[in-house]
Amino acid sequence: MKYLSTHRVQLGLAGIVATAFVFGPALAWSLGITPKAIENRALSPAPAASDGWDALDTLSPWATDHLPGRDKAVHMNAWVDYNVLGQLPAAQKEGAQGTSGAPTVVRGKDGYLFLGEDFTVACEKTVNYERSLESLAALAEIIQRSGRKVVFSVAPNKTSVTTGQLPGAMPRGSCAERGIRGQNQMLDTLKRPLYVGVRKPLADAHSSGQQVFLRTDTHWTLLGGAIYARAVAAQLDPELARKLRLKPERMTKVGELMRLIGLTSTESVMSQTISSSGTVFPGPKAAPGDPRRAAYRPDTWSTVPAKGLIQGRTLLLGDSFTAVAGLTSLRPVFAQGRFVLFGFVPESQLISEIRSAETVVIEVVQRGLVGHVVTRPGFQKQVASALGVPAR
């Protein structure tokens, strides 16, 4: 009886939706409501009576395009999928050579969402991962041979830290599971004096109940960024690292994984950031780099008083992990700092920025390491030539 009652409700809802779908556009038109195109194409034309039965072929796309408040309906549909049905509306991706890909967004446990690309990279690129780590270490050693201080780190994927929240049925199955486990071991056991390993400290903090990753985003929380910043400081100046303190700070963000499934829910978490004895003052904005990305300008700052901080000109080369949550805790560590975002300036500028710095901090996200510009031999040779040192 319970099944029959539920079935009747479903049929009733379907009837209401169907009626709105077919007659809604005409009703809206009669009330003077006209639809707006929300995709990069023209709206479908209305069916013509002269087409006879063939008009039915154009009825569905016309009704879909002319539903009143269609943009809000798309958002509502995503909301119902996520909050009521427990489903994700993201489309399925196809992998290389026709293999089954991972969904754009993957729903895990305890409200955690994951980027599907992480599972695909774990499955397909782990075979080249150790070589890429060694190549990144080689770049750091080139910079060190020039007399500069340098450290490098790999920002771990959320899938590599919050492993207890991974879905039971993992995209790409055992292949992804082996890849995540294998990459984690490489990140934890790399023995290079310039390497700052942060996967295990982040995983330990997560296991102790601290939130180091946003549930609805791919990035660290401010606390995750603070753990990374403290590890960098400990590598460059252990005495300074011992003096750094954590202060509470709230982080509020519309998670990018929510955006990918068509929602705009905000996540807010009480977190922590690093504070030092100095005050951070932003510097003047630099000229844009790549004209195609004119909105981005490298970030500069100074910290006063500078006593006890890492002195000289420090360059942070990193990606969104440094930008989103790392910078807040990194700035107080350096007397003079500059952050340049990978992918937003040409390679020639990256090399020029390295040459102008006295200390260089490199961060690359785990999923992007294989094939990254900093692991390419050609780029490393250019850096070596610009710094006047041998490439090997």
Q: Which of 11-25, 34-48, 194-208 has the highest mean pLDDT?
A: 194-208
Ramachandran quadrant class, 219 (left: phi over 0; alpha: psi -120 to 50; beta: rest) = beta
Interatomic CA distance for residues 218 and 221, integer angstroms = 10
Taking only the tens place, the pLDDT of each residue in 339-365 is 999 999 999 999 999 999 999 999 999
Paired tokens of 61: 């796309």
pLDDT tens-digit map of 276-287: 888 999 987 655
For residue 222, pLDDT beyond 90: yes
Confidence of residue 41 (pLDDT cuts 50, 70, 90): very low
The mean pLDDT of 85-103, rounded to a whole number, is 52
Pairing of strands 359-365, 149-155: parallel
Tokens matching residue 162 = 């919050």
How do residues 288-322 score in pLDDT, each as one tens digit?
Answer: 444 444 457 899 999 999 999 999 999 999 999 99
Which residues, in sequence order, are bridge partners of residue 155? 365
Query: Are 138 and 150 a contacting pair, CB within 8 Å?
Result: no
- Helix, strand or coil for residue 96? helix
CB under 8 Å to 69, separation ≥6 — which residues?
none
CA end-to-end span of the chain: 76
User: Whole-prediction pTM value?
Assistant: 0.77
User: How far is Cα 125 from Cα 262, in angstroms, rounded to an integer?
Assistant: 29
CA 210, distance to chain mean position in Å, is 20
Per mean pLDDT, which range of 19-28, 167-176, 282-291, 375-384 is the poorest? 19-28
